[in-house]
Amino acid sequence: MVVRTRFAPSPTGVLHVGSVRTALFSWLYAKHHKGQFILRIEDTDQMRSTPESVQAILDGMAWLGLDYEEGPIYQTDRYERYQTVVESLLTQKKAYRCVCTKERLEAMREQQIQDKQKPRYDGHCRQLDLPAGDQPFVIRFKNPEEGIVAFQDQVYGEILIDNRELDDLVLMRSDGHPTYNFAVVVDDWDMRITHVIRGDDHINNTPKQINLFQALEAPIPQFAHLPMILGKDGKKLSKRHGAVNVMEFKSEGYLPQALLNYLVRLGWSAGDQEIFTHDEMISKFDFRHVHRGAAAFDYDKLVWINQHYMRHTPIEQMEKILVQQYALDGVDVKNGPDLSDVIPVFAERCKTIAEFCDSTRYFYQELITYDAAAVSKHLHPEALQLLDAFCQELSSLVDWDKASIHACIETFCAARNMNMGKIAQPLRVAVTGSTSSPSIDITLVLLGRDRTLARLQTAIKK
Ligand code: GLU
């Protein structure tokens, strides 16, 4: 059997980390079994589905490298198929037309609540075998009236539901739109899905869907329901917890592999291991180690993992990511040192790509911004005099490299019997605009002779 899994988001909002974690587990399961992964866009809710949300899903999947063998498949392209299937269910008397009005259904519901019963359809139209007529109708499924639906959830274990608890669910609305429970079953059947992996908010839908699979004489897939992701405070994941468009993590400077690594550990573990390469994630992933309890989203840990990836991502890959990010900021990397020289120095120091770009901007821009506090503390008249003298020494350097610059500073300080900090900090502020940069000799090497001397002149004249 070829394992086939799918990710089936509804394009009705942002693609947030909760959905991405579902996509990731589904993708990993398919990859682990050398199977296929399908992207299906469940866009039957015409009122709430938007093209922007579809785009956010496609962008997010592409950014994270969650590639699919098939798709994106849109449910709205499959209406004819749903119609054919529902008609065959009608012919086989496994479904029926229901003309109950909204008012009748509401009154019934209120009565049931008053009587402390579980609100459900009372089967009024079930035996009437109504033809299509002038009255608007929905098509309902004839759910079995007795017996138990049982399934072995890959995460939660055995789940049993009495059919008497289940409603005759609506398959087609009066406006001809299929319902979620119907479209999902037809699709999972047609797309030969072997494992349905989704959030545990769908666990109550599964018995209804299993009855439908049976009525269609379709093979029943395995099910794995994934526990929720909560905020660190145990509350429902909200914007404040990171339930934002996953692309915002990109603009905040997180690396895709870091986010995936963080998410794989959100509700799944392989011993104590925290860092997983792409291949390790695939080879180790299983359902046995998916936790049943809700997982908590923790920004600090994400930052920690991102820092790891900042240090370990190959330079060529970092270069590509950085060039894109600089371009968004309007910075041209051709106008400064080679990124392959800057990355080894800065990747260690920065938590995110955004921080990296911020702290290296002065290498690539003609005009730099000066931190006012740093200027008043370090560029006072006495310091400027020192800088002026030092600038002359520097300009006569033959080789512009770390050793020569270091020696030049040492000699300059020794001659004046002062420690190196006395010149290093004013220098740093004069050429970078702030007090934080890597060691001053490396900073000057990366900045280059011309730019260093020009910036010193500017500072001295100021
Ligand atoms: N469209 C459903 C959702 O976004 C998918 C449910 C499923 O995977 O079956 O929640």
Atom from ligand 1 closest to the CA of residue 7:
8
The full DSSP string for 377-415 is HH-SHHHHHHHHHHHHHHHT-S--SHHHHHHHHHHHHHH
Q: How far is the CA of 145 from the centre of ligand 1 (A)?
A: 26
Atom from ligand 1 closest to the CA of residue 9:
4
37 within 8 A of 6, measured Cβ to Cβ: yes
Atom from ligand 1 closest to the CA of residue 201:
10
Structure tokens at 127: 């035996």
Q: Three-state SS for 161?
A: strand
Dihedral angle over CA of 25, 31, 37, 42, nearest 10: 10
Q: One digit per residue, pLDDT tens: the chain, 462 residues?
A: 999 999 999 999 889 999 999 999 999 999 999 999 999 999 999 899 999 999 999 999 999 999 999 999 999 999 999 999 999 999 999 999 999 999 999 999 999 999 999 899 999 999 999 999 889 999 999 999 999 999 999 999 999 999 999 999 999 999 999 999 999 999 999 999 999 999 999 999 999 999 999 999 999 999 999 998 888 888 887 777 666 789 999 989 999 999 999 999 999 999 999 999 999 999 999 999 999 988 899 999 999 999 999 999 999 999 999 999 999 989 999 999 999 999 999 999 999 999 999 999 999 998 899 999 999 999 999 999 999 999 999 999 999 999 999 999 999 999 999 999 899 999 999 999 999 999 999 999 999 999 999 999 999 987
Residue nearest to atom 4 of ligand 1 (CA): 9
Tens of pLDDT, residue by residue over 310-342, are 999 999 999 999 999 999 989 999 999 999 999
Where are the extended beta strands (E) located within 52-121? 70-74, 95-98
What pTM, to 2 d.p., does this model score? 0.92
Q: How far is the CA of 147 from the centre of ligand 1 (A)?
A: 27
Among residues 236, 239, 320, 462, the one annotated as catalytic is 239
Dihedral angle over CA of 441, 318, 331, 57, nearest 10: -150
Residue nearest to atom 10 of ligand 1 (CA): 9
Measured CA to CA in angstroms, residue 354 lies from 56, 141, 325, 424 at distances of 21, 53, 8, 26
Tell me if residue 402 is catalytic: no
Which residues, judged by CB distance below 6 Å to any ligand atom, belong to the binding site of ligand 1?
8-10, 42, 184, 198, 202
Q: How far is the CA of 224 from the centre of ligand 1 (A)?
A: 13
Q: Of 452, 451, 446, whose CA–CA distance to 402 is shortest?
A: 446
